[in-house]
A = this chain, B = another copy of it.
């Protein structure tokens, strides 16, 4: 499944400096520490990158492609938290607590990942307060987003949740009213905490009401205002 390769343009962390915002503030010496034992791996669409419950040994930097982050919950139900694109850091809150992975990560497209040893990462965090403070902002930001998601999932009904999910994809993630939907109906259901059947039904409702169109896996938002309205009313 996993096969190591060197990814173009990512021979070492010095080159990452200009791309990955989290590493921009590091000195060459600090980057050198991260670069030790660093390696990158290419995954094919559909492959799992991190498995919930395993040990956290590396911080992952997403170099190329799109991944989904999800919690494996009751039975075989998943809760899709969000999607990530370059240059996001992956590994989750367990990196700084119990060194366990608390969410699974899978590739939605072909993906390149850079693995940084957690010990080296922590060493730099102990040397450079600004780097640590950036990380706090990173984790805090996630929390704020989780708060909103919790309200959406626990206090809105299905149409409101679906509106939230679609608005997240178009406004936050893809930043476009038309985008290739890399998610299956089941994954949309995981994103909006409903059954697959219900997700299908509500997408059809939205199509009938001319809020969206779906051709193949190309999704277009036709009426953002009305979606916002549905989101607001719950």
Binding site for B on A (CB under 8 A): 71, 73-75, 77, 79, 92-98, 102-103, 125-130, 132-133, 135-137, 139-144, 146-147, 149-151, 153-156, 193, 234
Contacts and interface: CB of A to CB of B under 8 A. Distances in A.
A163 to B, nearest CB: 13
17 contacts: A71-B150, A74-B151, A74-B156, A79-B150, A93-B140, A97-B141, A126-B129, A128-B129, A129-B129, A139-B139, A139-B140, A139-B143, A142-B143, A143-B143, A143-B146, A146-B150, A155-B193
A234 B156 CA distance: 21
Nearest to A234: B74
Contacts of A77: 155
B147 A150 contact: no
A160 to B, nearest CB: 8
A94 B150 contact: no
A147 B71 contact: yes
A127 B133 CA distance: 11
B137 A136 contact: no
A102 to B, nearest CB: 6
